[in-house]
Amino acid sequence: AQKITQTQPGMFVQEKEAVTLDCTYDTSDPSYGLFWYKQPSSGEMIFLIYQGSYDQQNATEGRYSLNFQKARKSANLVISASQLGDSAMYFCAMREDNAGNMLTFGGGTRLMVKP
Amino acid sequence: SAVISQKPSRDICQRGTSLTIQCQVDSQVTMMFWYRQQPGQSLTLIATANQGSEATYESGFVIDKFPISRPNLTFSTLTVSNMSPEDSSIYLCSVDQGVGDTQYFGPGTRLTVL
């Protein structure tokens, strides 16, 4: 079974609107971390936001917030007030504490922001 | 977060040759990671490199094909050996730091094998 699933291969959003990118995960490890990365066409991987499995509150970083629903095993990324520069691939990733520090990545979602 | 550089940023190589990719970090780190991203795909971990010990390879990756060196706490190399067109990928190194052992990535090496 896939550990990280991103069901939206591509999405469009109008500039200045909010968008939600979906991510579901599968683990039996009680301690884990969830991450979102942005990959523009240049290829670099840019860290956006982190959520720990024991964190009580949803993580926020500027225009990024993570909608963490532990019982549903989902960790959706919300981008508010989309900008043209947000057009990129977005990857959800998980680190399971019992599996060392390796990251497992989802298949990614390509976000395109329309002017 | 750490500043990570990689060399080369891109290369075009002939099949059967080898390429060594360098990863330099501006601070000392215990673990460094090497990932491969094939065209249109997600990232896959190749190996974890600890200073002073042999790298730990993930399933599907072997030392003969992807030898790794880790001579000190700020530097690592990944060699892609006996290349074929299927090795055309972006290769990224990363280190973990800070909250949640977040992994920060270098800018990547874009490799094309003809």
Largest Cα separation within chain A, whole Å, is 44
The CA-CA-CA angle for residues A38, A41, A44, to 5°, reads 55
Contacts A107 to B, Cβ<8 Å: 41-42
Which residue of chain B is at minimal alpha-carbon distance from A35?
B102
CA distance B9 to chain A (A): 10
- Among A20, A21, A16, A15, smallest CA distance to A113 is for A15
pLDDT at residue A1 greater than cutoff 80: no
**pLDDT tens-digit profile, chain B (114 residues):** 789 999 999 999 999 999 999 999 999 998 999 999 999 999 999 999 988 888 999 999 999 999 999 999 999 999 999 999 999 999 999 998 877 889 999 999 999 999
Single-letter amino acid, residue A42: S
pLDDT above 90 as % of chain A: 91
Name which of B41, B48, B110 is nearest A102 (Cβ-Cβ): B48
- A26-59: buried (b, 16+ CB within 10 Å) or exposed (e) per residue? ebeeeebbbbbbbbeeebbbebbbbbbbeeeeeb
The two tokens of residue A34 are 């969830």
Return d(Cα A100, Cα A98) in angstroms, integer. Answer: 6
Judge contact between B71 and B23, C-beta under 8 A: no
Tens-place pLDDT, residues A6-40 = 999 999 999 999 999 999 999 999 999 999 999 99
For tokens 């917030």, name the residue: A65
Return d(Cα A28, Cα A84) in angstroms, integer. Answer: 38
